[in-house]
Chain A
Amino acid sequence: MPFTPNIQAFCCHYTSQQTLAEGPEGLQADGFPQSVTIHRLVCTGKLEVSTLLKAFEDGADGVYVTGCPLDKCHNLMGSQRAAKRVAAIKKALAELGVEPERIEMYHLERGFHPAFVKAAQEMDERITTLGPSPFRGGAK
């Protein structure tokens, strides 16, 4: 049976702004994979480590964050903080013997651009290759 990954994307208001303005159909037409669920945030600096971990607990096979470019965050350091939290989770995943690539941070320009769709496609491809999350369905 083909594997359809469950990917949770946490995107800041600015990187997802115009792309989301197209609506789900528009996004799909652009090639945005259906495996990705978008959560919009005011700023990725608001994102807690526990929120990202909970996504894995809730069954995500992959998680990614899109925030502003490192030196151009609308809120100055929000995307830098998010990148550090993602890095901390990569380390924790490795400690648990799980592929750190299951979580990723993307720094994107604001507004409509193909990079937003490309990040989702890249994660879809990556997680499809990795297969289901080792956290999923283990406990009896």
Chain B
Amino acid sequence: MIIAERKPLAEIMDMVQDAKRILILGCRGCVTVCSAGGEREVEILASLIRLGKQKAGQPVVTIEATLVRQCDKEYIDSIDQWDGQYDAIVSMACGVGVNFIANLRPMARVYPGVNTSSFGGSAEQGVWSEQCAGCGNCILHLTGGLCPVARCAKSLMNGPCGGSVGGRCEIHQDVPCIWQSIHDKLVRIDKADDLAVIAPIRDWSTAGHGGPRKTVRNDLAL
């Protein structure tokens, strides 16, 4: 899922400083699962914004809502029910949601309520770790299912850098050296020979280095 975290409150208060009516919009997708922008977080942020405005002596009206998703036009269309009732939208979805609202409602002032961090999973309660970089050219079949693009600090493709000690990355002792893990995994599944295959110079154009990416599925298009 996409991992996000609420922005510092001061930053949000600064964004909405001249708004008197604010639509705070959550998303029931990834940000609900990682407790950053679901219904509960919308309720909390709305309360904090009201308190911040109360302290500043500025009257404010908040509308709280949570869409099924903010990355589909159909769901974005539902915000029209609040037309004329808000000066600004604080979207608590990932950056995709903020962009979608900005794309589809050119006149709306939309602000991000969260920082979108990574594609990750819940390692344990309250802890999420990056697992995928969304690079557009998956090589997990060669690395025992463990991603060196996302999980190696240097995104190395042909083994460790030489800085790892005791299976830990040189950038931080908390970070496992993913190439050590890949080695161990390939040995365990009897695929150690894969380590001898030299990865060619990588074409990063699928990773966004060639501009914004677009996926087209003609079989699904109308």
To the question of whether A and B form a pair in one complex, the answer is yes
A128 to chain B, nearest CB (A): 20
Task: From B8, B48, B56, B57, name the one whose CB has the most chain A CB atoms within 10 angstroms.
Answer: B48
Chain A window 115-140, contacts with chain B (Cβ cutoff 8 Å), 1 for yes, 0 for no? 00000000000000000001110111
Which of B39-47, B67-75, B147-155, B183-191 touches A?
B39-47
Question: Total contacts A to B, CB within 8 angstroms?
Answer: 47
- The residue in chain A whose Cβ has the minimal distance to the Cβ of B50 is A57
Q: How far is the CA of A134 from the CA of B57 in the complex (A)?
A: 10
- Secondary structure call for the A interface: loop
B175 to chain A, nearest CB (A): 25
Q: Are B47 and A139 closer than 8 Å at their CB atoms?
A: no
Which one of B47, B57, B58 lies within 8 Å of A57 (CB-CB)?
A: B47
Asked if A49 is at the interface of the complex by the 8 Å CB criterion, the answer is: yes
Number of chain A residues whose Cβ lies closer than 8 Å to a Cβ of chain B = 18
Interface residues of B in 42-101 (CB under 8 A from A): 43-44, 47-48, 50-60
18 contacts between A and B (CB under 8 A): A49-B40, A50-B40, A50-B43, A50-B44, A53-B44, A53-B48, A56-B51, A57-B51, A96-B9, A96-B55, A97-B55, A98-B55, A138-B55, A138-B57, A139-B53, A139-B59, A140-B57, A140-B59
> Which residues of A approach B to under 8 Å, CB–CB?
48-50, 53-54, 56-57, 92, 95-98, 134-136, 138-140
> Which residues of B approach A to under 8 Å, CB–CB?
8-10, 13, 40, 43-44, 47-48, 50-60
